[in-house]
Structure 1
């Protein structure tokens, strides 16, 4: 299985020989974590977070495999679970499979080639589940953000009053470490009408090269720490630990109304689809600001 980044796997068995065999079988294709009981496996998950695949023995002291796997479902619903069983425990296995807690069971002693095929399919299933979950999450984020923007247009009568709730909506939707929404007058940042969400952002907008480019071109600007060196005059990006800086001019009929800055340092960085969503939401924010101006 060729993947740019190895997926994570947890193997659980109270027999050391079986545990080592599972580790050796999959270590080339996965980041494999080992646990000798259900209790210790739960501790591993607490430390390492979600894994793509769990392979667990069924008959273990303290906690059966099916019982352990059932405890992982609430926090890690997309993880694919496989049971190893050396005896016929039909009721436990059928219940676990029917409830969606177990993807497949393998009888001991297992055929290594058969197990590899099952695990490969399990990893593919995990990838599909994650893709679907991410798509549903983005759809929910989009609906929530656009609803919040529409609500701002209905509730407020002054553009200045809109800045705070709009910045808050953007910041909450994309978990940025800094969010600034600032009015623009005659192509320049206004002295008034500035709102920063999450306290002081990592970098200010005054004399920021991305802001200068956005003001002159009326085009969105994107800077990624992994993709380019800071533009001239933006050494503050490195010193502030900024990993991503997005600048969106809010333009209506060639007139720039405001400028939106989103900055990430340690939080999860937006992907390409989320950046597209920010573009869409920025356009909706323009409509909200113009609607408030008309209604006001």
Structure 2
């Protein structure tokens, strides 16, 4: 989903620039130290390379480091063949791309591994460095594509669950305050926020926040004086500061100092009549939001406009 407002595109770029690209991870596994060192030297400039001298040690590294983009494993190793080791990594790390190095003609093992999706490609020893680099580059690109598709699917499922939860809470509503607290808690948990405020606007003064119904109890005191909230209300669009300590206009605000808030996102909730509510999300750490999370916030505020309308009819 794309936003028409250029300010939101600016925020997306800020979020992207706040996340420094990291080298993809690679795990190389071989019982011969010389081969391990050669593989490490070959790929250390482009990858964060981890070395393991056995399948058992490699599994320990994966347990500690998590998913890697590419695994290169020797086939003939003591205790555990390469294909056996790689098969153990599939359930937990399905997106990882696996490459086998072999100096033998273990055709049956290799064919089974390739057909089952456990191995992307096999390279015979002694390998050609340029061929191996080409294969690994393609493997890394394949991993990024698989990872992107998996994240898109997970994000869509996450958005669907969150929106369904919000609507379910609204339909079961008995008390406005209780319902908004429950919704605020769900939104905050989904987006990893340390504090959330979700509140309607004062009916006779649409430019000032009403009493808060979020996790923060003093919302009505500090939100109405917050420059970021004022900008969001004035512009009628989402505003976000990902690094409050570096923003001189916000860093000295009492709320941010006393609660150690380092990032704040606030968005007005709009319907045809104007601003009907406000969503505020705060983090006590550098903002971990992705640009796609802004799409989730946008969808939440759209649905909350319907929720506010429904809840007001119940009052």
Tell me the TM-score normalised to structure 2 length. 0.83
CA contact (8 A) 2:201 2:275 kept: yes
Q: CA deviation at 1:143?
A: 0.9
Q: Does 1:222 align with 2:251?
A: no
Q: Which has the higher mean CA deviation after the structures are superposed, 85-94 or 122-131?
A: 85-94
Q: 1:36 aligns with which of 53, 60, 66?
A: 53
Q: Which has the higher mean CA deviation after the structures are superposed, 246-255 or 55-64?
A: 246-255
Structure 1 regions of 5+ residues with no counterpart?
none
Using a 3 Å threshold, how does the CA distance of structure 1 residues 178 and 70 change in structure 2: closer, same or farther? farther
Q: CA deviation at 1:241?
A: 5.3
Tell me the TM-score normalised to structure 1 length. 0.88
- Would you tell me which structure has more helix in proportion to its own residues? 2
Return the alpha-carbon distance in structure 1 between the equivalents of residues 218 and 117 of structure 2: 46
Aligned partner of 2:296 in structure 1 is 277
Q: CA deviation at 1:218?
A: 3.1
Number of residue pairs matched by the alignment: 289
Aligned partner of 1:190 in structure 2 is 210
Aligned partner of 1:260 in structure 2 is 279
Using a 3 Å threshold, how does the CA distance of structure 1 residues 272 and 33 change in structure 2: closer, same or farther? same
Q: Does 1:109 align with 2:129?
A: no
Return the alpha-carbon distance in structure 2 between the equivalents of residues 87 and 33 of structure 1: 25
Q: Which has the higher mean CA deviation after the structures are superposed, 113-122 or 267-276?
A: 267-276
CA contact (8 A) 1:176 1:267 kept: no
Return the alpha-carbon distance in structure 2 between the equivalents of residues 183 and 205 of structure 1: 13
Aligned partner of 2:111 in structure 1 is 94
Q: Deviations over 1:233-275 (max 9, x none)?
A: 4335477554431101123334433221112344871211111
CA contact (8 A) 1:208 1:234 kept: no
Q: Deviations over 1:35-69 (max 9, x none)?
A: 11111112222222211101011111122111211
- Would you tell me which structure has more strand in proportion to its own residues? 1
CA contact (8 A) 2:263 2:287 kept: no
CA contact (8 A) 1:175 1:268 kept: no
Aligned partner of 1:212 in structure 2 is 230
Using a 3 Å threshold, how does the CA distance of structure 1 residues 283 and 233 change in structure 2: closer, same or farther? same
Using a 3 Å threshold, how does the CA distance of structure 1 residues 136 and 175 change in structure 2: closer, same or farther? same
CA contact (8 A) 1:166 1:285 kept: no
Using a 3 Å threshold, how does the CA distance of structure 1 residues 23 and 241 change in structure 2: closer, same or farther? farther
Secondary structure of the corresponding residue to residue 229 of structure 2: helix
CA contact (8 A) 1:175 1:267 kept: no
